[in-house]
Amino acid sequence: MKNFFWDSCVIAAFLNEEWEGADIASLNQFVQDAKNGDCNIYVSSITIAEILPSYLKEKRFNSYQRFLKDMGGAVVQISPSPNILAFAARLRDV
């Protein structure tokens, strides 16, 4: 099974159905595949703070929480530990 990690930019593009350079059709297919159990989509719990309600254009979902509920477990939230955050900082610095 394939595993994907979406950051807040990808989630925002999906929720608003737009983002310069984003392939929204592919994002829709990933979500459908995840709902069918063919792949896993992981998101950081940090995205709760990053996806501002005022940013959403209410095309599909009027809140990030509604998006998660609609996904029915197809999108898995993970909470980064201090070790993961430290590793992420080192990766970003490369």
Task: Supply the pLDDT for residue 58.
Answer: 65
> Which comes out higher in pLDDT, residue 92 or 61?
92
Task: Supply the pLDDT for residue 42.
Answer: 94
CA distances (Å), origin 85, targets 6, 51, 63: 16, 19, 26
pLDDT band of residue 85 (cuts 50, 70, 90) is confident
- Angle, helices 64-71/8-16, rounded to nearest 10 degrees: 90
Q: Is the pTM of this model over 0.85?
A: no
Please count the other Cβ atoms lying within 10 Å of the Cβ belonging to residue 37. Answer: 10
Task: Supply the pLDDT for residue 18.
Answer: 77
Per-residue pLDDT reduced to its tens digit, 43-73:
999 998 988 888 887 667 778 888 888 888 8
Is residue 44 classed as helix, strand or coil in its secondary structure? strand
